A = this chain, B = another copy of it.
């Protein structure tokens, strides 16, 4: 059976713990008992890709060429399709798409596709770069769904919190800050919240919110397993 499975290429390290969290979720969602039941992932865990926020906000090196090089390396090594466990990286997805002949699964499109049908306003917890690039909002507008973004003050707190998580702090204080940021979106009318940054599910989970929480990491992991096991 394993011969028919697809090999997953992972552009990782954006950030490091988010990549490990993604891999753990792929493993947990793969049916089977033995090592050999699992999915073959080629992971380029390359934390040296230039900062995506800085590039979007105008004062940093373009991460596109580094991402394209990773994609080519993964294709050469045998990947059948690519994923990136980083929402903000998708702002630069064209660099990856142009570099290789294998498909890139979009964490943005898959997360939007997983929204509940009856939801007409969605809260977005994502980096300032990701929100400025309008990737989630554009996808939501196409479906007539209103995007609710953090206030400027909350956005500053969110970015501090994301960088704290990247620095290794996933403790209860950080989790509570993230929960409050999500609750503020719910108070502003969000019927669901998208954790649209792969650092967020490291501290925030569904048990902490009364509205549906869409973890972009979990949704990408689920899609990855489904594609890898399909013939």
- Where the two chains meet, the residues of A that have a C-beta atom closer than 8 Å to any C-beta of B are 2, 12-17, 19-20, 23-24, 27-28, 32-51, 73, 76-78, 163, 166-168
Contact = CB atoms under 8 A, between A and B. Distances in A.
A36 B51 contact: yes
A136 B120 CA distance: 61
Give the residue among A12, A38, A39, A76 with the most B Cβ atoms within 10 A. Answer: A38
A73 B41 CA distance: 13
Given A76-B76, A77-B77, A168-B28, A35 B47 contact: yes
Contacts of A168: 27-28
B17 A27 contact: yes
A141 to B, nearest CB: 30
A48 B4 CA distance: 12
A126 to B, nearest CB: 16
A171 B14 CA distance: 30
A129 to B, nearest CB: 13
Where chain A touches its partner, the secondary structure class is mixed
A77 B37 CA distance: 26
Given A27-B17, A33-B166, A34-B167, A39 B47 contact: yes
A48 B40 contact: yes
B35 A51 contact: yes
B35 A14 contact: yes
Given A35-B47, A73-B78, A40 B13 contact: yes
A50 B2 CA distance: 11
Contacts of A13: 35, 38, 40-41
Nearest to A15: B35
Given A20-B27, A24-B17, A76-B77, A166 B34 contact: yes
Contacts of A48: 2, 36, 38, 40
Contacts of A49: 35
